[in-house]
Amino acid sequence: MMHTPASMVMGIVFAPLGLVLVFTAAITPQWREGQARLSMTGSLFRSSVKTQGMGSKSGSVESLLLLRTDGLWESCLQVEQSELKQCWPVAGPYQRDPRVRLAQGLILTSLFLCGTGIVLACIGVRCWTDLPLRGVAATGGLLVVMAGLLSLTALGVYTHNLGRLGMTDSSQAIINPRFPPLSLRAAGSLYFGWLGSCLQVLGGSALLFSFKRPRCPTCPSCPELAVCPACSSCPEVTNRPDTDVYEVSC
């Protein structure tokens, strides 16, 4: 029975886990978040809040705390401590920002490469036979490493420009009394992405060790000669009951 190398086991565990985390980060809108306090001057906001049961007494609610989150493909706006929430596909300057488009492309490419690498790794491990396809498994590991590096690049670009995404010039930073600017910071999806990318790099690197072939045993009588399990010229090796026999090419 074949013993799967520890590097392969580590790779086929970490790589799919990293893929799930990066995919989760990609589809969730919590890449950055911000808060802004909005005065309750509009009758529409006031009536909406009362509908949600937040202002039973007149004048009890003088301001609202808005929570804004942005992702790669979706943005959301929610009123704190209420069910008022609305999400929409990214649009406007934020959608057209080249750094956001770069992050989108890198994440999509990363997901494709990681999925392909995992398929190759599963084929290469071949737990149903005695001989793993080491070259195929290692090639899958290389693709997984590349996927992890691409997602790390996307996350780095987004994080470095987090507060400037969607702002083409300084004139957009003018304070609007009806909708004050948000103080933006990194949100939960970014941390999922960082963790998933690191797991991809670790898993792919482990699979890369599949290129290393095992050493053939040596005959105790003739240490200078390598013994092939298919050859019965060395009884000291082939007749040992606790010796596992593998058909390996050295």
We report the CATH number of the domain holding residue 95 as 1.20.140.150
- 115 and 235 within one domain: no
What pTM was estimated for this model as a whole? 0.72
- Residue 55 placed within a domain: yes
- 221 and 183 within one domain: no
Angle subtended at Cα 108 by Cα 122 and Cα 150, rounded to the nearest 5 degrees = 80
- 138 and 222 within one domain: no
Task: For residue 78, give the 3-state DSSP assignment.
Answer: strand
Q: How many domains does the chain divide into?
A: 2
- Residue 238 placed within a domain: yes
pLDDT value, residue 79: 84
- Residue 1 placed within a domain: no
- 54 and 109 within one domain: yes
Edge-first strand order for the sheet with 63-70 is: 85-89, 74-79, 63-70, 32-39, 183-186
Q: What is the pLDDT of residues 77-95, one digit of tens each?
A: 888 777 777 888 988 888 8
Give Cβ neighbours of residue 199 (< 8 Å, ≥ 6 apart): 14, 15, 17, 18, 21, 148
Residue type, 90: V
- 154 and 37 within one domain: yes
More confident residue, 181 or 110: 110
- 30 has a pLDDT exceeding 50: yes
- 234 and 188 within one domain: no
For residues 110 and 19, the answer to whether their CB atoms sit within 8 Å is no
Helix (H) or strand (E) holding 185: strand 183-186
- 225 and 149 within one domain: no
- 229 and 169 within one domain: no
Q: What gap in Å lies between CA 200 and CA 150, rounded to an integer?
A: 10
- Residue 171 placed within a domain: yes
Domain interval for residue 226: 217-250
Place of tokens 């996350």: 155
Task: For residue 89, give the 3-state DSSP assignment.
Answer: strand
- Within 13 Å and on the Cβ side, how many CA atoms surround 22? 35
Q: What is the pLDDT of residues 182-240, one digit of tens each?
A: 678 888 899 999 999 999 999 999 998 876 655 555 555 555 555 444 444 454 444 45
- 225 and 175 within one domain: no
- Residue 51 placed within a domain: yes
- 16 and 60 within one domain: yes
- 168 and 128 within one domain: yes
Mean pLDDT (the chain, rounded):
75
Q: What gap in Å lies between CA 159 and CA 213, rounded to an integer?
A: 41
- 237 and 173 within one domain: no
Rounded mean pLDDT, 84-108? 90
Q: What gap in Å lies between CA 105 and CA 100, rounded to an integer?
A: 9
